[in-house]
């Protein structure tokens, strides 16, 4: 009995000691795991602080110079890397953006498309503004590369055919750069013209009311001068074109002629080339250079089926939106103001008439013809840039 009691007592004691021992071990393991977590967490904090301290020691100008060498998408990815990088880019965004603009030749775009202003009337240079400039530059460069390919194709029967492939690739690069500089001003005109048309909805509504209330007062004196839709849009274009310097105005006028000529030849290679002008006018009037670039991308021989299908669907959507606004679609409520704003005018009423009026007022007609020449390769003129106001001889 005693032995069994002692054995039972001992077994109970051993059992108790066993439970106490296991509890002790679990507590020790928990403490060790906590210590490991704390040490790893503190080491990470120390590494981050060392990294932040390292970049804090660099001059801000050096950081801006480093960040201006990367693409804007890489700059966004850099902000997502860590909080330290995000704060560095965010705090110094104004200096980084200005340095990026100077390094990547975006000065012309930044002058034509200034940044938004802060409540204190200071320009807001940030990464978002940088993205908008980069997208515009990419649109102009992509369209210029397509135009360069078409120009080279049309000049295969000229001495340019004897140029070596390496030099020809350099020539294409030079032509693309020159056309890109010119196309920036075309993009500026179409963007400003679209913005003014967006702001003219109230003006068009007032114009319609005045016309309905004074149907025969176009030649009489009324409290409000009644102008047609074409006259309103012509005044918008004239105000935009008048801000361009004389040399830039002539170059942009010639570039618009070149653009329309190549689009017409691409859509309809055989005469008459003007029979598809409503489609060209729709692309310029509704979407600017974006839809024109999509057209050339879809018209290339190596274009994929999805690219061509995407362009066709986008053009069909533009026409469908116009039909809905006109009220011609059953079950859809039309908007007369939107229809008058978006209906494509004749091509002459987009840039050309207003530009010729401004050039006549500035006494810029007649002027010398231009040519896309590359002097380092023998002075080949791969395409003529001319208009109705050009004199016969080349400069």
Instruction: Using 50 as the pLDDT threshold, list the residues of the chain that sit under it.
Output: 1-21, 39-51, 216-224, 375-378, 393-395
Is residue 10 situated within a structural domain? Answer: no
Phi/psi-derived region of residue 86, left when phi > 0, alpha when psi is between -120 and 50, beta in every other case: alpha
Asked whether the bond before 274 is cis by omega within 30 degrees of 0, the reply is: no
239 lies in a domain? yes
Q: Could you tell me if residue 162 is inside a domain?
A: yes
For the entire predicted model, the pTM comes to: 0.77
State the Cα–Cα distance between residues 152 and 158, nearest whole angstrom: 10
pLDDT in tens, 44-84: 444 444 445 566 677 878 877 888 888 888 888 888 888 87
∠ CA 152-156-157, rounded to 5°: 145
In Å, what is the CA distance from 21 to each residue of 7, 8, 10, 81, 119? 20, 19, 16, 47, 69
CB contact at 8 A, 296 and 284: no
CA 200 – CA 195 distance, rounded (Å): 9
Distance of alpha carbon 312 from its chain centroid, rounded?
A: 21
Residue 236 lies in a domain: yes
Say if residues 139 and 293 touch (Cβ distance below 8 Å): yes
For residues 364 and 244, give the distance between their C-alpha atoms in angstroms, rounded to a whole number.
13
- Please check whether residue 200 lies inside any domain of the structure: yes
Residue 354 inside a domain? The answer is yes
- Residue 90, in any domain of the structure: no
What domain range is 291 assigned to? 128-385
Alpha helices in the chain (DSSP H): 2-57, 60-67, 72-79, 83-91, 93-103, 107-112, 127-154, 165-198, 201-213, 229-241, 246-267, 277-282, 289-299, 305-326, 336-342, 352-361
Number of separate domains in the chain: 1
pLDDT at 49: 46
57: in domain: no
What does the pLDDT look like over 191-214, one tens digit per residue?
Answer: 999 888 887 766 666 665 655 555
Residue 256 in contact with residue 106, Cβ under 8 Å? Answer: no
């Amino acid at each position: 009995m005693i032995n069994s009691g002692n054995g039972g007592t001992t077994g109970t004691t051993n059992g108790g000691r066993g439970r106490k021992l296991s509890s002790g071990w679990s507590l020790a393991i928990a403490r060790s795991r906590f210590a490991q977590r704390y040490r790893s967490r503190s080491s990470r904090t120390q590494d981050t602080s060392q990294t932040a301290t390292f970049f804090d020691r660099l001059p801000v100008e050096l950081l801006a110079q480093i960040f201006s060498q990367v693409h804007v998408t890489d700059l966004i990815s850099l902000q997502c890397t860590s909080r330290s990088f995000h704060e560095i880019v965010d705090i110094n965004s104004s200096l980084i953006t200005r340095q990026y603009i100077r390094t990547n030749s975006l000065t012309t775009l930044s002058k034509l498309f200034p940044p938004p202003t802060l409540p204190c009337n200071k320009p807001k240079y940030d990464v978002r503004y940088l993205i908008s400039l980069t997208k515009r530059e990419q649109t102009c460069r992509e369209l210029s590369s397509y135009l360069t390919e078409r120009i080279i194709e049309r000049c295969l029967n000229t001495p340019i055919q004897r140029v070596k492939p390496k030099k020809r690739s350099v020539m294409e690069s030079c032509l693309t750069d020159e056309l890109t500089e010119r196309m920036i001003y075309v993009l500026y005109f179409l963007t400003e013209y679209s913005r003014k048309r967006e702001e003219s909805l109230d003006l068009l509504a007032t114009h319609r009311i005045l016309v309905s209330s004074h149907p025969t007062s176009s030649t009489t004196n009324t409290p409000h001068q009644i102008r047609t839709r074409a006259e309103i849009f012509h005044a918008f274009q004239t105000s935009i074109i008048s801000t361009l310097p004389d040399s830039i105005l002539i170059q942009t006028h010639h570039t618009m002629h070149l653009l329309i000529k190549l689009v017409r030849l691409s859509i309809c290679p055989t005469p008459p080339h003007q029979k598809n002008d409503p489609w060209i006018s729709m692309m310029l009037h509704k979407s600017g250079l974006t839809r024109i670039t999509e057209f050339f991308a879809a018209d290339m021989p190596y274009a994929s089926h999805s690219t061509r299908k995407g362009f066709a669907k986008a053009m069909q959507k533009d026409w469908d939106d116009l039909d809905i606004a006109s009220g011609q679609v059953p079950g859809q409520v039309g908007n007369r103001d939107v229809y008058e704003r978006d209906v494509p005018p004749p091509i002459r009423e987009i840039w050309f008439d207003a530009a010729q009026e401004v050039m006549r007022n500035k006494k810029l007609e007649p002027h010398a013809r231009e040519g896309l020449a590359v002097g380092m390769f023998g002075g080949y003129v791969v395409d003529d840039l001319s208009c109705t106001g050009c004199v016969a001889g080349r400069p």
